[in-house]
Amino acid sequence: MPLAVTTGSTGTAGAAGATGTPRGPAAAAATATVGATATAGATGTAGMAGATETIAIEVQRYRPEEETAPSWQRYEVPLRRDWMVLDGLNYIKDSLDGTLSYRWACRMGVCGSCGMMVNGKPVLTCATYLSALAPGPVRVEPLRGFPVIRDLVVDVRDFLDKLKSVKPWILRSEDKPLADGEYLQTPAELAEYKPYSMCINCLLCYSACPIYALEDGFVGPAAIALAQRYNLDTRDEGAAERLDVLSQHEGIWACTFVGECSTVCPKGVDPAGAIQRYKVAATAEWWRSLLLPWGKASRSAATGDDRGRSPSRSAAAGKEQAEPRPAGDERSRGR
């Protein structure tokens, strides 16, 4: 998970136990516009140098100590050809209103912390040109589907818990001795999982996913894609353990293949493809467990390719495998 940086004066990023607004579409509903207008007319500010035009940015504000619901605030910022939406927010923060809170770190599409809704779409604000949104106004909201802690800062603990549940790290029953050297992979083996390893945990896919907003338990696109990243790694033996989580309704079967997660992904990870691929493999594994009860495999659970690897720890321990359920089956929602 990228480092979360809040530039807000109150320092609320990732605040545990924060009293955020409820998760889901209703949380993003705008209330009355407070309409404080700040004109970027001051001379001598760095952002104004050379700027002749301005563009309006309307930011959804939520300050829990003084508001019970979100409101909108409008700012005028310089419209420079090389500015991203994040530059506009930084201008507001530095020159107009130091109370605005939001996350960012790398400013180059790597850390994944600057995701927000811009004109209704989940984007990386450091990779979205302001000029492409002219003449404006540009509407900036917190990522949809997550509780809001303050202004544009959302609570991502739900994602972190779900990510941890799929064990996104290499699992092995035992490591080979150091004297045996590295774990070698061919370029083709690397290419199998590399696309999924490009995920930067920006959570745009969660904001775009209608199921994540509706199903509290849904593991979600990035966590499933990252589970696949390790399932497909020839060094890993943990596919059967992950299958125990992913084959539940809240795992892969809640996904109705809307596909928006892959559309909005800035890194080309294709989580929708990962989920469908996993559905096929999990179904095959289920049939295999019915027909060959002794034959529960490890990597084949995700890949359909056992490549002669040894059973995982859970398989060796004889853990019962959950049966796949069709989308729409609500037996395991827990609501």
Question: Looking at beta carbons only, is 254 or 315 nearer to ligand SF4?
Answer: 254
83: Cα separation from own chain's centroid:
24
Question: Looking at beta carbons only, is 113 or 247 nearer to ligand SF4?
Answer: 113
Q: How many CA atoms within 13 Å lie on the side-chain side of 13?
A: 17
Output the smallest distance, CB 114 to ligand SF4, in A.
11
Question: Looking at beta carbons only, is 140 or 261 nearer to ligand SF4?
Answer: 261
Question: Looking at beta carbons only, is 112 or 324 nearer to ligand FES?
Answer: 112
The interface mask with ligand SF4, positions 270-309, x = CB under 6 A, is: -x--------------------------------------
CA distances from 130 to 81, 90, 100, 112, 285 (A): 8, 13, 18, 19, 48
The partner in contact with residue 111, picked from ligand FES, ligand SF4, none with C-beta cut-offs of 5 to 8 angstroms by kind, is ligand FES
Q: If residue 285 lies in a helix (H) or strand (E), which one and from where to where?
A: helix 271-291
Output the smallest distance, CB 193 to ligand SF4, in A.
14
Question: Looking at beta carbons only, is 142 or 251 nearer to ligand FES?
Answer: 142
Nearest of 147, 145, 156, 38 to residue 100 by alpha carbon: 38
CA distances from 101 to 8, 152, 281 (A): 4, 6, 43
Question: Looking at beta carbons only, is 153 or 199 nearer to ligand SF4?
Answer: 199
Sole residue written with tokens 């125990």: 244
The interface mask with ligand FES, positions 84-123, x = CB under 6 A, is: --------------------xxxx-xxxxxx---------
Output the smallest distance, CB 302 to ligand FES, in A.
28
For the four alpha carbons of 122, 128, 132 and 137, in that order, the dihedral sign comes to positive
Dist CA 52 CA 41 (whole Å): 10
Restricted to residues 130-159, the positions that interact with ligand SF4 (CB under 6 A) are: none
- At position 186, the amino acid (one-letter code) is T
- At position 12, the amino acid (one-letter code) is T
Output the smallest distance, CB 69 to ligand SF4, in A.
28
Surface-to-core class of residue 88, CB atoms within 10 Å of its CB (0-12 exposed, 13-18 middle, 19+ buried): buried
The only residue of 61, 139, 229, 267 in contact with ligand SF4, by rule CB under 6 A: 267
Output the smallest distance, CB 114 to ligand FES, in A.
3
